[in-house]
Every structure is written in C-alpha cells, then in structure tokens.
C-alpha cells in the first residue's frame, strides 16, 4: 500500500528501559518523540540511550500527567502509539466488567490516549495469556474496543526467536491501523540464534567479578556478536552476581548445560520447579529471560559452564540489546529493566513490517 505517511513519530507508553523504541529506531522511518513510565529508574536508562526523546516520569492515570502527554504528543506531531499496558483482570472472574474492570484501567488509559490523539497506527504488546485466557473472551473485548475507535486490527502470538533473538519469548502483538489491515511480520531467520552465538565471547567472569564499565578482552566469535557489539568501544553491565559460597558449591555439582536433576535430592531446596538451578545450553535458544535472571536458584539462568548466573550484559544480549545500550541503576533495577523489556529485534521486525506496508523503502 502507498500513503502520504512517510514518517512515524511515536508515543511510547509504559516504555520501561526502551526495548520497543530502541528496536523501532533501527528503521529510519521511526522515531520516538514522547515516552512515559512511572518507574524513574527505567526512565533514566531510556533517556540515557535515546536523549532526543522527551521522556516523562508519571502515572498514566493521573489527569495532569495524561494532559501533559497529550499536549506534548500533539506538539511533537505524534502519529503512532506503542506500548504494553499491564493487564490483571483477564481471568474468568474479570469477565463481568471486561475493559471496565478496575484491574484493567491501564488498558483503558492506553485506548483513551488513542482516542485523544488519533494516531495512524498503534501497536499493543502483551503476554500471550491475553489471547488465550477466558477462552479468548478478553481478546474479543479488546478487538471490539479497537474497532469501535475506527481501526482495523491484526493480532497473533509471536516468538522472539523467529526474529533473530536468542531466546524463546512469546508475546501477543496487536497492530491497529486507520489505513487497512497490517499483517504481523513473518519470521526473519531460518535458523535460531543460539546462546553460544550470543554470549560465548563473554565467558570469563567468575562469581563477583566484572565491573559497570570495562574493556573488551576477547574478539567476537559469531556474526551476532559482531552485530551486537556494533559501535560500542567499551563493555558495560558485565558484572557477575556475588553468589554465596553455598550456591557456588551447588553449581560446581552441576555439569555443563545440565540442571537440578544432577543434584542430590537433599540439595534441591524448597523450589519445586524442575527448571531451578538450570544451566543454559550453548547450542539452543535461552528460555524466557525474567526479572530474576541474576539468581542462580531462580530458573535456567546459570551460565552453561561457569559457576554463576548470567550477568546483566549477557541477559541483555539474550534480549537482543546492542552493547552500546547501557543500563543505569542498582542491580535490582537493572534486572527489572532487562527482564521486562520487549526484545529490540522483535520491535524492529514490527517496524519494518509497518514501513513495508506503507511502501517505505529501506536501504
């Protein structure tokens, strides 16, 4: 399709550290003008990496904050909205009120901003449970609300691994448009990128070692590592958790790429999940990175052979953040920023699909 649209000026809601915007910026036709989140630590990271965006800290339910977002967005010529509103009420119990359920007010606030700003396109990103829960009833509520606003809507579950992200991470993606139905992107890779391809060049720190900023001491060992290092001249956020000796001793009992099944039963601990104390497998994709990836007992977050959990930089690589993207704040804030992020390569694929739909050519 062709259209007058040749530039997408984005409002990024619930922006977090900025995975969606960072990925979309890889396409030259997309630029985040305004971003909002209530987490000031995440906003500091966003602003540090994308200084040209106006990034606001505030609660979207606060009328004054919302008024500021609307005013700034109009001033900046925003014609696209992206974001993943947290959504609590899509259980059978939530059916009674649907989008009027107070637990889903953040979804309402997102759609209210769509109504006020009338963007040409908006993208909703959420957990895959949004499509599946309550026999799809909640998904139908969203579709109905979006169509009522005058938009066509296309949606499905996408796995980040299909777009070059070295991680199995399934997300529900909705692309909504005033200009006809925009289908979701098709997979961009035939072969998944593995954990080895993502982080093998960083496999030298032991528990407690590393620093916020350091020199690269190895050469890249894969195309992915060359691409992800990009223009970065220093290595940031590559600092290993300082594990207790008891945790290190436990990891020493687990052979490379193995897990809890190798521990004697008395060392299994209280966690009943089979995945706890797991090591990543070199030649597979990582399971979904969460906000506790730095704890060796949390899940399959341990290094394939070193006696530690993965570092924030290794987790960021597995999320497909470029090395030049620097995370700010204390460890507890950084792990949340990384674990909650939309993988940039998935966001880039969505932007590319939208650009292609409007006939915008990339080099």
Which of the residues are catalytic? 87
Report the half-sphere exposure of 227 (CA within 13 A, side-chain side): 13
Question: Tokens 């960021």 belong to which residue?
Answer: 316
171 DSSP β-pair partners:
127, 158
Q: Residue 60, class by beta-carbon neighbours within 10 Å (0-12 exposed, 13-18 middle, 19+ buried)?
A: buried
| CA 73/CA 67 separation, integer angstroms | 10
- The closest alpha carbon to 183, from 5, 11, 352, 360, belongs to 352
Other Cβ atoms closer than 10 A to 326: 18
- The closest alpha carbon to 340, from 319, 356, 310, 309, belongs to 319
Cβ atoms of residues 181 and 151 within 8 Å: no
Tokens of 152: 């066509």
Cβ atoms of residues 289 and 198 within 8 Å: no
| CA 88/CA 90 separation, integer angstroms | 6
**Residue-level length of the chain:** 363
279 DSSP β-pair partners:
302
Give the DSSP letter of residue 233: S
Cβ atoms of residues 203 and 303 within 8 Å: yes
| CA 88/CA 103 separation, integer angstroms | 5
Coil, strand or helix: which one is 238?
strand
């Amino acid at each position: 399709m062709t259209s007058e649209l040749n530039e997408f000026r984005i409002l990024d809601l619930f922006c977090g550290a900025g995975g969606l915007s960072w990925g979309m910026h890889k396409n030259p036709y997309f630029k985040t003008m305004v971003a909002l989140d209530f987490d000031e630590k995440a906003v500091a990271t966003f602003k540090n990496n994308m200084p040209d965006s106006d990034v606001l800290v505030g609660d979207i339910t606060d009328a004054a904050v919302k008024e500021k977002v609307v005013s700034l967005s109009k001033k900046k010529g925003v014609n696209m909205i992206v974001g993943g509103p947290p959504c609590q009420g899509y259980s059978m119990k939530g059916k009674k009120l649907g989008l009027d359920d107070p637990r889903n007010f953040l979804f309402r606030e997102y759609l209210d901003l769509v109504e006020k700003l009338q963007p040409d396109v908006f993208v909703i990103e959420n957990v895959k449970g949004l499509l599946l829960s309550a026999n799809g009833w909640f998904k139908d509520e969203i579709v109905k609300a979006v169509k009522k606003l005058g938009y066509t809507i296309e949606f499905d579950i996408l796995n980040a691994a299909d777009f070059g992200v070295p991680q199995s991470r399934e997300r529900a993606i909705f692309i909504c448009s005033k200009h006809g139905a925009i289908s979701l992107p098709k997979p961009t890779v035939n072969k998944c990128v593995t954990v080895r391809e993502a982080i093998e060049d960083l496999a030298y720190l032991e528990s407690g070692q590393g620093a916020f900023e350091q020199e690269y001491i190895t050469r890249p060992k894969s195309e992915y590592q060359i691409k992800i290092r990009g223009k970065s001249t220093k290595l940031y956020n590559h600092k290993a958790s300082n594990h207790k000796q008891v945790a290190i001793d436990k990891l020493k009992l687990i052979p490379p790429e193995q897990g809890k099944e190798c521990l004697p039963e008395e060392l299994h601990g209280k966690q009943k999940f089979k995945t706890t104390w797991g090591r990543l497998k070199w030649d597979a994709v990582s399971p979904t990175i969460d906000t506790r990836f730095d704890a060796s007992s949390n899940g399959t977050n341990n290094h394939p052979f070193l006696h530690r959990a993965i570092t924030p930089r290794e987790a960021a690589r597995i999320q497909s953040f470029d090395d030049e993207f620097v995370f700010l704040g204390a460890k507890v804030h950084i792990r949340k920023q990384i674990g909650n992020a939309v993988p940039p390569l998935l966001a880039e694929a969505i932007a590319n699909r939208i650009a292609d739909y409007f006939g915008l050519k990339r080099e």
